[in-house]
Chains A and B, each alone.
Chain A
Amino acid sequence: MNKTLQISFSLKNTYLVNGILYSLKQIPIVKKLLPEALYKERGLKIFANVLSVLWEILSIFIGKLLYLLTMVYGMGLLYRQVPGSYLFMHILLFLTVIGAFSNTSLFNPSRDKYYAMILMRMNAREYTLVNYTYSIIKVILGFAPFTLWFGVKRGLPVWLCLAIPFSIAGLKLTVAAASLWDYERRGFVYNENSISKYLWLLMALLLGAAYGLPAAGIVLPHIVSAILMLSFIPAGAVSIRKIISFGYYREINRQMLSQMMNQMDTVIQNTRKASEKTISTDTSISSNRKGYEYLNELFIKRHHKILWKSTQKITLVCICLICGILLIMYLAPGINKKINELILTWLPYFVFIMYALNRGTGFTRALFMNCDHSLLTYSFYKQSKSVLKLFQIRLREIMKINAVPALIIGVGLALVLYASGGTDNPMNYVVIIVSILCMSLFFSVHYLTIYYLLQPYNAGTEMKSGTYQLVMSATYLVCYFMMKLHMQTLMFGMMTIVFCVLYSIAACILIYKLAPKTFKLRI
């Protein structure tokens, strides 16, 4: 037993440590500093080991603290009309039942189980029991300090607070034993990651009971919740016998982990299949153009669904929203002044909206998955005149795709501004329309440029560039913080236009200088 615990710990630790080292290796600058024989470097290993042990300790406590703090105690503060101690026990009771099904540890097909029982052929029964015992001890230890803290705060007696962790563990044991019994009876292996719709429904009902009933003023008297909770302890104690005597741990784990084995092999294949599915099989599609225009037209037509269809939907939604706003303004003229003010100061908000609406990522992804990843293996396609010619064509296409909703939003905003009382400076109308178009231009250029300059995928269509991911995250953050910026529309609009035009020019110069060298498959 002791040996099994030791082995499973060191196994889990090893892959955690290697995982940490691997992610360090993905960070652009850090990776240059790291030695090549990363995984045998003692110092680094010790560092990662310390992280991994810290993580294990934190994982015992942090999750439970956050859970009790937000889901039970924090949510409980929102209800004013029911007594706090009642509410604490009420919510905790229902959530405990949900947790007993959704967080079993025994029926979680995790990677360490796969490594230990399938790849390393460890004894399934021993491995499962040892690890399950450990996980139950973690539940009790992890909950104890916080049930005590929050429970006493909510006016519960200390002995009850100390009993609650055992109740939670007790119900988990009971549900586990029942599932094992269910397997013996009808051969069904419970898997907490793919539960049936009835169980989902039950959980939704329980969630409704936890938070919905108190809102309606109904809570279980805390004596009732306490008795129910305490009854889980003897139930759990009885269940331990079943769990120890169960004889088919090898079988249930094989079955549960078999899905995982398949998943591991086919992640890449699945992405490939998914992207191939986006290709239209309509045989009437053809093109009368020549050369690169021919290639491009066929690409656009066969990817109509993911390129133009979604743009059309977005445009339609924008039209409806604008009409809705105009209607509300007509029905309730009182808000006109407020809306007028908003439009004249809230243009920065639209940077984020345009960011969210732009189709750049989908477009470049489809370009790579279904077109470039194969054509880039042919030498004719890598010649600089080909790369640049196609860049031009593609830039034109993505600009068209993004410009439609941008135009609608720009014109719509100008209309709303006019209808809400207008402005003294007619330049505002022009600036709104042009700046929103410029934003869409910016995102089109931006995504296509970083795709051409950083080409992040390898021939197996895996994402290989940390820099690319960094640029993407930075883009998101900048757009996000634009929402916090409040500036006069005229001022911000002018700045946007100037920035977008300059950026686009700079990007195109960079492309012409660098893309023929950078636009290739990663090895």
Chain B
Amino acid sequence: MKFVIEHLTKHFEKKEVLHDINFTFEEGKIYGLLGRNGAGKTTLFNCLNRDIKKDSGRFYLELDGTLRESVPEDIGYVLSTPTVPEFLTGREFLKFFLEINERSVQSTKSIDEYFEYMKIAPDDRDKLLKDYSHGMKNKMQMLINIIAQPNILLLDEPLTSLDVVVAEEMKQLLRSLKRGRITIFSTHIMDLALDLCDEIVLLSHGELEEVEKSDLDSHAFKEKIIAALREDGYE
């Protein structure tokens, strides 16, 4: 499977944020999307997730040689601030989600097994989500997105505000999930990107470009990335 973006552009009023993006993402890899503040990472995600209209261009999935437009069900989108329906308990949210998606989701686990998998404690499973901590909300959001088995998983700064233990758990989880799908992970933290991601992609001047690691050591690689981003000029 490949995910292909062709000539994607987007501007707000006169400012062009995404300028003719062309890129092909490949199955089984985690892509680290780096860009300076305001470079348009979230805008790119919002376009891919069809939350905002693109100006032009297209993106499609290439499955065994056949092309098709990506549909919302192909994409799981985990936001930096986790959003969960506050009036439901964790268990109710999961139950609701599984019922709604009975047909599309082959659920192999029971609800408690899912909680176990995400390391959400038994006491917390029947609490209202409004009383969940930031990390637990994040886990719920991640869980829902994982169960849906999307072909493409978009993660917008997902680990930045988690405590070290949860962040480590999430990293492990993402690594275990990368098979069979495309994971695109935006972050500001270079070390995280280098640690977790298979490819580094820069968003600068409204375009995506891959940074070749070739035979650089990690220090030289970092220098190369910073130099490339610095060219982006003022923000």
Residue B180 at the chain A interface, CB threshold 8 Å: no
How far is it, in angstroms, between the C-alpha of A522 and the C-alpha of B37 when the chains are bound? 21
Task: Say yes or no: A379 contacts B148, CB within 8 Å.
Answer: yes
B99 at the interface (CB under 8 A from A): yes
B79–A295 touching, CB < 8 Å: no
A-B contact count (CB 8 A): 74
B130 near A374: Cβ-Cβ < 8 Å: no
Are A298 and B86 within 8 A (Cβ)?
no
The B68-121 residues at the A interface (CB cut-off 8 A) are: 72-73, 75-77, 79, 81, 83-88, 92, 95-97, 99-101
Question: Considering only CB atoms, which chain A residue lies closest to B43 in the complex?
Answer: A523
A380→B74 CA distance, assembly (Å): 10
Verify A36–B73 contact, CB threshold 8 A.
no
At the interface with chain A, which of B44-52, B58-66, B199-207, B215-223?
A: B44-52
Segment 286-335 of A: residues with Cβ below 8 Å from B: 290-292, 294-295, 298-299, 302-303
The A contact surface, by secondary structure, is: helix
The reply to whether B87 and A383 contact each other, CB–CB distance below 8 Å, is no
Question: A113 at interface (Cβ–Cβ under 8 A)?
Answer: no
Contact B97 A380 (CB under 8 A): yes
Q: How far is the CB of A33 from chain B (nearest CB, A)?
A: 12
- Taking CB atoms, residues of chain A closer than 8 Å to B79 are 377, 459
A370–B73 CB distance below 8 A = no
Q: How far is the CB of A448 from chain B (nearest CB, A)?
A: 18
- Chain A residue numbers with a CB within 8 Å of B130 are 276, 279
A459–B84 alpha-carbon span in the complex (Å): 12
B45 to chain A, nearest CB (A): 11
User: Contacting B96 at CB < 8 Å: which of A281, A291, A382, A520?
Assistant: A291
The verdict on A291 contacting B100 (CB below 8 Å), with A370-B86, A380-B148, A523-B52 known, is: yes
B86 & A378 in contact (Cβ 8 Å cutoff):
no
Whether B88 lies near A291 (C-beta < 8 A) is no
Indicate the member of B52, B88, B126, B144 with the most A CB atoms within 10 Å. B88
Instruction: Kindly identify which residue among B15, B96, B150 contacts A36, using a CB–CB cutoff of 8 Å.
Output: B15
* In contact, B76 and A379 (Cβ under 8 angstroms): yes
Residues of B within 8 A of A374 (CB): 83-86
Q: Judging by beta carbons under 8 Å apart, are B87 and A379 in contact?
A: no
Report yes or no: B85 in contact with A294, Cβ–Cβ below 8 A.
Answer: no
CB pair B83–A373 under 8 Å, yes or no, is yes
The chain A residue with its CB closest to the CB of B83 is A374
Q: Are A520's CB and B87's CB within 8 A?
A: no
Specify which chain A residues have a CB less than 8 angstroms from the CB of B144 in the assembled complex: 378
Interface centre among A281, A292, A377 (most CB of B within 10 A): A377
Using CB atoms, name the residue of chain B closest to A383: B72
Tell me if A375 is interfacial: C-beta within 8 Å of chain B.
yes
Q: Which chain B residue has the least Cβ–Cβ distance from A300?
A: B87
User: How far is B87's CA from A302's CA once the two chains are assembled, in angstroms?
Assistant: 7
Question: In the complex, what's the smallest C-beta–C-beta distance from A200 to chain B, in angstroms?
Answer: 35
Cross-chain contact of A294 among B99, B101, B148 (Cβ < 8 A): B99
Is B5 close to A, CB under 8 A?
Answer: no
Cα A283 to Cα B126 in complex, Å, equals 9
Q: Does A521 contact B (CB under 8 A)?
A: yes
Instruction: Decide yes or no: A380 and B99 within 8 Å by CB, A279-B86, A370-B85 being known contacts.
Output: no
A26 close to B (CB within 8 Å) = no
A380 B101 Cβ-Cβ under 8 A: yes
Instruction: Give Cα A382–Cα B148 distance, bound, in whole angstroms.
Output: 14
Closest B residue to A34 by CB, please name it: B13
A382/B13 in contact, CB under 8 A: no
Give the distance in Å from the alpha carbon of A298 to the alpha carbon of B88 in the complex: 7
Q: Report how far A415 CA is from B95 CA in the complex, Å.
A: 48
How far apart sit A291 and B95, CA to CA, in the bound complex (Å)? 8
Chain A residue nearest in CB terms to B145: A378
B150: chain A residues within 8 A (beta carbon): 379
Interface: B128 (CB within 8 A) = yes
- Interface membership of A59, Cβ < 8 A: no
27 contacts between A and B (CB under 8 A): A36-B15, A276-B86, A291-B100, A292-B100, A294-B92, A295-B88, A295-B96, A298-B88, A370-B85, A370-B86, A371-B85, A371-B86, A374-B83, A374-B84, A374-B86, A377-B77, A377-B79, A377-B83, A378-B144, A378-B145, A380-B72, A382-B72, A383-B73, A386-B100, A459-B81, A459-B83, A523-B51
Across the A-B interface, the 3 shortest Cβ-Cβ residue pairs? A374-B83, A36-B13, A379-B72
List 19 other contacts, CB 8 Å, given A294-B92, A370-B85, A386-B100. A36-B13, A276-B86, A281-B128, A290-B99, A291-B96, A292-B100, A294-B95, A294-B96, A371-B86, A378-B144, A379-B49, A379-B72, A379-B73, A379-B77, A380-B72, A380-B100, A383-B72, A459-B81, A523-B51
